[in-house]
Amino acid sequence: QKEVEQNSGPLSVPEGAIASLNCTYSDRGSQSFFWYRQYSGKSPELIMSIYSNGDKEDGRFTAQLNKASQYVSLLIRDSQPSDSATYLCAVMGRYSTLTFGKGTMLLVSP
């Protein structure tokens, strides 16, 4: 059973701080990793993808991947109250299907 693990949170940060969200995965052969954001009562939306070790930046978001440690993270700089949501880590598996973690709830307080 391939697994993706995340701390369910909530992770609380003040506005303007850096939020750090973490994810580990069990399948050492995984190559593709994604972060989805899900607002309460809404559907998930893709915000970041990463395939190579290191950092990938997109605006206020930075995804980090360490395949040796089987670890993926998402950093959100200058966190805003509108970033308050659940962040789902996902790993591409067999048959090009996504395996999601349970998500980390982020709360950004004004």
Neighbouring residues of 94: CB distance < 8 A, sequence distance ≥ 6: none
Is 77 near another protein (CB under 8 A)?
Answer: no
Is 32 near another protein (CB under 8 A)?
Answer: yes
In Å, what is the CA distance from 74 to each residue of 1, 41, 54, 94, 107?
24, 22, 12, 24, 15
Closer Cβ to another protein, 37 or 76, answer by number: 37
- Among the listed ranges 11-19, 31-39, 59-67, 74-82, the one in contact with another protein (CB under 8 A) is 31-39
Structural contact between residues 88 and 38, judged by C-beta atoms closer than 8 angstroms: yes
- Interface residues with another protein (CB under 8 A) are 32, 34, 38, 42-46, 49, 86, 88, 90, 92, 95-100, 102-103
